Amino acid sequence: MKIALKVFFVLVCLTCLILRQNLFIGTFFILIKWLVIIFGLILLFRTRFKGALNVILGVVVVLVIIEASYVKVRQNGDLLSSKKSLNQEVLAVNYNVFFKNKDKAALVDKITQQNADILTIQELTPEWERFLKLKLNYPYFKGLALRGTHGIGIFSRFPLSNVEYVYNNSKLPIAQIVDLNVNGTVCCIANAHLASPAIAVENPDRFFSLIRDNYQLRKSQYAKIQNRINARSAQAKLLIGDLNTTCFEPLYNQIKMYWNDGNSFPRLSIKRNFPNSNKFPPLFTLDYILSAGNTELSKYEVIPGGSSDHLGIRARVKL
């Protein structure tokens, strides 16, 4: 019985490791991998360490520990390179303002209180753009206001240049990438809004097929954005916005290979920002402020209140 249990454990672990980029298996593995480690160690040490099966079991436990620790070996070296002297500090704030929001004034009051140096916006409609420009006092703005959920924009106290947009297959923007110049220090900022999985929630009879398709779409959209960011020469980089991705998905692990997340450890204590409801606290983290290269994040916070379905987020960024 013990041998059969070990064989089953090894097969399950190897399957999870091989298929860890699959949405369902990968998410399951992320959620239970520390339990797998504990159970594997119990199986390993309840008998003397001998025999081929125990050797295989030991190797599998080590592989799972490595995966759980998530050792990051960056191809471009941004995370592992030594930081240059960081002389500038800015406050970055992000809001998905919700294109159907009927109480714009309440949310703008929240935004004004933050006194952000950089304000990234998703679901920027023409009405939202007019209202924000009327109520906020920012000298620089780059954006593309659209009806529905695909509008996007950046307000800034510092000059913005070299603006480009990344589009989905329907020719709608999923990100804008700009160069921010803070007193001579250039930072590349990507303001992103990946595909929403809401259609899966709205169609429970096809939930699993739709959420799987959405996951693949988000992966391809992120890869397209990452490629555009990599083409920029700035040494400091920020990826900010509504990524519609929880920290328990394999895609988040892929993103973390390239980006630092000030809200990332431990996963169970991550500050959540969606949905914003008076009836219960937020359940998920969908919005992020991520840094790479010659940057440091600190004082990450979720901003309580406001009239959007997302709570805002903020972080100090050293450049």
Dump pLDDT digits (tens) for 17-54.
Answer: 777 777 887 787 777 776 777 777 777 676 655 666 66
Angle between helices 2-18 and 23-45 (to 10 degrees): 150
**Is the model's pLDDT at 169 over the cut of 90?**
yes
Last residue within a domain, chosen from 37, 69, 101: 69
Most confident of 48-57, 159-168, 258-267: 159-168
Q: Is 23 part of any domain? A: yes
Domain of 229, CATH number, reads 3.60.10.10
* Number of domains present in the structure of the chain: 2
Q: Note the pLDDT tens digit of each residue in 119-149.
A: 999 999 999 999 999 999 999 999 999 999 9
Q: In what order do the strands lie in the sheet with 236-242?
A: 160-167, 173-182, 185-193, 236-242, 287-293, 260-261
Peptide bond into 275 cis (omega under 30): yes
pLDDT at 32: 75
Same-domain pairing of 46 and 162: no
Same-domain pairing of 45 and 176: no
Same-domain pairing of 13 and 154: no
Same-domain pairing of 118 and 158: yes
Same-domain pairing of 48 and 130: no
Q: In what order do the strands lie in the sheet with 152-156?
A: 140-144, 152-156, 118-122, 89-96, 312-318, 296-303
Label residue 75 by pLDDT band (50, 70, 90).
very low
**Is the model's pLDDT at 157 over the cut of 60?**
yes
Q: Is 80 part of any domain? A: no
> 237 - beta bridge partners?
188, 292
Same-domain pairing of 127 and 61: no
Q: Is 242 part of any domain? A: yes
Same-domain pairing of 177 and 302: yes
Q: Is 214 part of any domain? A: yes
Same-domain pairing of 142 and 176: yes
Q: Is 84 part of any domain? A: no
Q: Is 83 part of any domain? A: no
Last residue within a domain, chosen from 24, 40, 69: 69
Same-domain pairing of 32 and 120: no
The Cα–Cα gap between 75 and 229 comes to 14
Higher per-residue pLDDT: 213 or 72: 213
Q: Is 78 part of any domain? A: no
Q: What is the mean pLDDT of the chain?
A: 87
The pairing of beta strand 140-144 with beta strand 296-303: unpaired
pTM here? 0.85
> 189 - beta bridge partners?
178, 238
Residue 12's closest CA among 160, 28, 263, 137? 28
The pairing of beta strand 236-242 with beta strand 287-293: antiparallel
Last residue within a domain, chosen from 38, 69, 100: 69
Domain enclosing residue 209, as ranges: 89-318
Label residue 86 by pLDDT band (50, 70, 90).
confident
Same-domain pairing of 284 and 247: yes
Same-domain pairing of 42 and 103: no
Q: Is 109 part of any domain? A: yes
The Cα–Cα gap between 108 and 95 comes to 10
Contacts of residue 264, defined as CB under 8 A and 6 or more positions apart, other chains included, come to 247, 256, 270
Same-domain pairing of 214 and 249: yes
